[in-house]
Amino acid sequence: MLIPGIYTTWRDAPDLFDSMVGFIEQHPQWDQYRLMQSALAGFLFQQGCQDRPVVRHYLDGLFRKPEAISP
């Protein structure tokens, strides 16, 4: 579920916003915060950042097992 008001951050990139919404709808174990953390950590890691928290978030995003979804 997306937090109301988050759209104002995305008003200049509606295609990215729509893609994010679609991804979250198809993958309910993800939310906007997890998606953005993973994307930012991936970008920073690929740009050479070796800070431990960034590497941890990057690897967590790669190897995190799907969480059980409660009915």
Q: Give pLDDT, residue 25.
A: 92
Range of the domain at 45: 30-62
pLDDT at 16: 85
Tens-place pLDDT, residues 7-53 = 556 667 788 888 988 999 998 888 888 888 888 898 999 999 999 99
Residue scoring higher pLDDT (31 or 71): 31
Measure the N-to-C terminal CA separation of the chain; round to a whole number of Å: 16
DSSP for 5-48 reads TTHHHHTT-HHHHHHHHHHHHH-TT--HHHHHHHHHHHHHHHTT
Does residue 15 lie within any of the structural domains? Answer: no
Domain assignment present for residue 1? The answer is no
In a domain, 54, yes or no: yes
pLDDT of residue 31: 86
Structural domains in the chain (count): 1
- Contact (Cβ atoms closer than 8 angstroms) between residue 3 and residue 31: no
- What are the tokens at 23? 């991804």
